Amino acid sequence: MSILSSLAGIGLLAILAQLAAWRLRLPAILFLLLSGILVGPVLGVLVPDELFGDLLFPVVSLSVAVILFEGSMTLKFHELREIGSTVRNLVTIGAVITWVVTSLATHYFMDLDLQLAFLFGALVVVTGPTVIVPMIRTVRPTARVANVLRWEGIVIDPLGALLAVLAYDFYIVSASENAWLAVAIAFGEIVVVGAVSGLVAGFGLGTMLRKVLIPDYLRSFMALLLVFLVYALADECVHESGLLAVTIFGMTLANMKDVEIEDILDFKETLSLLLISGLFILLAARIDPAAILAAGWGALLVLLVMMFIARPVAVMVSSLGSALTFRERLLVSWIGPRGIVCAAVAALFALRLEDRGIPEASLFVPLAFLIIIGTVVIQGLSAKYIAFWLGVRDPAPTGVLIAGGGIVARRLGAALKAADLRVVLVDTNYDNIRQARMEGLETFFGSPVSEHAERHLDLSGLGKLFAMTGRINLDGLIAMNFRSVFGVSNLYELPINAEGITDKHLVANRFRGKRLFDESCTYNRLAGLMRQGWVVKATLLTEEFDYAAYGQSLGDQAVRLFAFDGDNRLRIFTTAHTLEPQPGWRIFSLTEPREKTASHE
């Protein structure tokens, strides 16, 4: 294949793997690895070393730098203080325990030099959100377990990579200079150059952003360019300090006051997804199956030690005195898959060590990928069943988050709750929240798009959004905020009467949720009917009383709201989709009270 065809093919494989992962609700890393192995060692279509030649090492290095920069931009110190002692212990004490146990296992089972084994142990400490977040969505653990796993993945990603960089630097210096003084000096040079470079770049870019010295359309471009520049300059000054520099660069930028970086972070997340996908395929294509087989039982024993000794011990020690139950600790102990940073850094350091004439480094990549594949496959396929067996798995996300606490939200919320769904009403109006609580509804007082809600709003068991605040653009903003949480197909809005509001004052339709109920149904109309005494009524369809008969029995003004099918799944009437209810369905409609209907007759 030509170079152009190879690059296009990598892109095609990447998107197919991501789509398969999304459809099957499994970590994308699994499909990316399988794709790379298929086109690489199995079919021999893709040979990265021949495709990139001398550029392979710089491409991998810069890609890892961007990935670490994006990960470090999510590490905000104020959040780190609030996520509890368990996560702090996991990324410090737990990481050290995992590092030491894994290193000793690698030393004894793989017969690696002890210093080299400790370097490999540092490479496989990280878990990472790229594999943890998809697994959480599939497993649906309790909120406490999900929060611990999610924050551990976010925090340990840059810190674990930093540990790997420092361990590598220590190994190189100690191998070339057999004197602790020289080791300390070299280590200090790396830390100083990396820290100073990262701090200067972070504060420099942050100051420019704060003073609006960069136009909006150049913000992301400038950040990306500085990542490349900082990495290259730091590495030229002192070898191996580049990754430390970009990590501190991202952390500094993320924690500066009055600096808005969301647009840069969004761009970097998209770019990281592209790099992660391509990098996994490239790295997997370089795997030599013979090398994995040659690793033998020793590699399998290292994997088992990591899963059944290192991880459980690290979690149990780190969670002492925490609010986690023993069953929750067991589940956290079982979920610890390795991801892109582990694969990329292992490949990166293996290349560097091989260039230095260290043949044992050839084991790094096959052993790292065996650990990645083993943890992702074994834990990814079994975690939800273990969570169910332990009784720490949340129910399916069938519940509804209702933005708004007015009369419409409360009446619909009560009807959904009566149908055994979890319903949470969120509003900034305390009177609405108080009334909802008096009516027995679960509530959250505050804005659903606030940082406080991101940390404290419990979304477990919720799978749909009803935006019905009575403020049309606020509903649009809320729908935009929850697109990545519930998915576009599960966002719904109830518009107000929009007479006199022109398009130039409205949030664009592409950002909004699907319109609830029928075209004539608005928030104001439903609120008016409910204040007149109209009620939400449930009707069971039968063979004798089918949907057609039900329609004839309704008044002209009645509003079909939602239904539960034969499998008790919530189905919603919208302007975009027409439901065809069958016998056995329960239909909920807003109708006139019986006494008023009888008086009409």
Residue 104 predicted with pLDDT over 90: yes
Which pLDDT band, with edges at 50, 70 and 90, does 428 fall under?
confident
So what's the pLDDT on residue 598?
40
Distance, in Å, from the CA atom of 373 to the CA atom of 45, rounded to the nearest integer, reads: 22
Distance, in Å, from the CA atom of 71 to the CA atom of 268, rounded to the nearest integer, reads: 9
Residue 501 predicted with pLDDT over 60: no
CATH of range 399-600; options 3.20.20.480, 3.90.740.10, 3.40.50.720, 3.40.50.2020? 3.40.50.720
- Predicted confidence (pLDDT) per residue in 36-85, tens digit: 888 988 888 888 888 888 887 788 778 878 877 877 777 667 655 555 67
So what's the pLDDT on residue 309?
94
So what's the pLDDT on residue 582?
84
Any residues with CB less than 8 A from the CB of 374 and at least 6 apart, and which? Answer: 303, 307
To the nearest whole percent, how much of the chain has pLDDT over 90? 10
Give domain 58-390's CATH architecture: Up-down Bundle (1.20)
Mean pLDDT of the chain: 81
Residue 560 backbone dihedrals phi, psi, to 5 degrees: -75, 125
Any residues with CB less than 8 A from the CB of 446 and at least 6 apart, and which? Answer: 426, 428, 452, 453, 457
Which pLDDT band, with edges at 50, 70 and 90, does 600 fall under?
very low
Q: Copy the structure tokens of residue 208.
A: 């420019």
**pTM of structure:** 0.67
**Element counts in the chain: helices (H) and strands (E):** 27, 10
- Predicted confidence (pLDDT) per residue in 300-331, tens digit: 999 999 999 999 999 999 888 887 889 999 99
399-600 and 58-390 share a CATH fold:
no
Q: Copy the structure tokens of residue 366.
A: 């096959």
Q: What is the DSSP letter of 141?
A: B
- Predicted confidence (pLDDT) per residue in 457-480, tens digit: 777 778 888 888 877 778 778 888
**β partners of residue 515:** 493
To the nearest whole percent, how much of the chain has pLDDT over 70? 87
- Domain spans in the chain, listed from the N-terminal domain onward: 58-390, 399-600
The CB density around residue 598, as the number of other CB atoms within 10 Å, is 9
CA distances from 391 to 97, 328, 379, 426 (A): 28, 9, 17, 28
Distance, in Å, from the CA atom of 509 to the CA atom of 122, rounded to the nearest integer, reads: 48
Please measure the distance between the N-terminal and C-terminal CA atoms of the chain and give it in whole angstroms.
79
Q: What stretches of 113-261 show up as alpha helix (H) in DSSP?
A: 114-123, 129-139, 143-176, 180-210, 219-237, 242-254
So what's the pLDDT on residue 500?
46
